[in-house]
Structure 1
Amino acid sequence: MKWLVNIFRKEIPQGERHDKNNSEVSKKFLIVGLGNIGAEYVNTRHNIGFKILDHLAKKESLSFETAKLGAVAEYKVKGRTLILLKPNTYMNLSGKAVQYWMEKEKITKENILVITDDLNLPFGTIRIKPKGSDGGHNGLKNIQQVLNSADYPRFRFGISDAFKKGKQVDYVLGEWDEAEKAKLPERMDVAVQVITSFALAGLGNTMSEFNGK
């Protein structure tokens, strides 16, 4: 696949590596999918962070284990360790889980990637940013409050804004429509590629490769 070939070309083999901005990157990464716990939320738009991590886990034959403040799975790609975290706090308390696992695994802000839904992007569109505002998202808002910083990478997955006035909550907590369900597997495949690229090629290269796709 072209994206994978590009990653291997850009990767610096052995030891530590640098992205376009020459920032040092270690070999351990925390990939956080945001969502609400409970069976009633599993297939809702707001839970795309959980759903993408579940999709990745299935592809890699991983099982999530219940751990402190979340469900966790771990695997390696070319010497990089990726820790997948689905916080089991409420969405607006996600920061507590993120901070705990960052400290436990000694992972810096530059090596976390927070996956969340975004109403301002068309369905399935991807936008990766190195930092930014919470955009009104309660999960991001709490993470920024707990970390006392907005300088951490985030991966926004578009869910579009196809709702009537006053129906935003119902929309984000609603399930995907049939057209979205049909396209979702392919879009989640791309999301998995984003995660792999983040760990292997770095943030800058991943943004160049995937933003807007």
Structure 2
Amino acid sequence: MKKFLIVGLGNIGAEYANTRHNIGFKVLDHLARKESLSFETVKLGSLTEYRIKGRTLLLLKPNTYMNLSGKAVQYWMGKEKIAKENVLVITDDLNLSFGTIRIKAKGSDGGHNGLKNIQLILNSVEYPRFRFGISDQFKKGQQVDYVLGEWSEEEKAKLPERLDMAVEVIQSFALSGLANTMNTFNGK
């Protein structure tokens, strides 16, 4: 059975639950709700298993805080013997307009502390990532407040449809592969 590690980046704690920076957690929570899965607390995170058409997807929400995400990713890749190309890291992206999807096979951390740490720990930029646009509608010097801020009412209204699309991205990644998923969803 083919195994995948789907990592949603975020920060633990109720105060972060509905922040833009926690979109990785939010996507996995949405998938878990749709499929009636429940997360359990495990080493370095919360984990649930999602099976679809002969594939097993381990959905991981690291509890290490964003800037130490690599530790959890490396641990679960090793424990479950999952290759880098079968890992998908879900993260927020300021450089994309709200809800825009960008899937890449590799790339820089783009200034994102979670990706920076994963890159450092895996000693590689070659792992698939799924960037979810949160836009950059903040004033100079307000980036941290914006990223750690809650969604606007307008964004909240559009979020369910974008989360459904994000679930389709994850399913496509496991069933159709990275290249097909990029062709189908990039820019949507």
Scaled by the length of structure 2, the TM-score of the pair is 0.99
| Matched ranges for 1:133-172 at <5 A | 133-172=108-147
Aligned with 1:181 (options 149, 152, 156): 156
Q: Percent identity?
A: 83
**Aligned structure 1 segments of 4 or more residues deviating by more than 2 angstroms:** none
Residue 64 of structure 1: CA displacement? 0.1
How far did residue 178 of structure 1 move?
0.2
Note the alpha carbon deviations across 1:43-93, whole angstroms, 9 max, x for none: 000000000000000000000000000000002100000000000001100
Q: 1:123 aligns with which of 98, 105, 122?
A: 98
Residue identity matched to 1:142: N
**Residue 106 of structure 1: aligned partner:** 81
Kindly provide the amino acid, as one letter, of the partner of residue 179 in structure 2: G
How many angstroms apart in 1 are the aligned matches of 2:65 and 2:160? 26
- Superimposed CA distance per residue, residues 136-163 of structure 1 (whole angstroms, 9 cap, x where no aligned partner): 0000000000000000000000000000
* Structure 2 CA distance for aligned equivalents of residues 65 and 104 of structure 1: 16
1:50-69 maps to which residues of 2 (within 5 A)? 50-69=25-44
**Gaps spanning 5+ residues in structure 1: where?**
1-25
> TM-score, structure 1 length as denominator?
0.88
Q: In structure 2, what is the Cα distance between the partners aligned to 1:138 and 1:63?
A: 27
Counterpart among 60, 85, 89 of residue 85 in structure 1: 60
**Structure 1 residue 27, shift from structure 2 partner:** 1.0
Alignment RMSD:
0.6
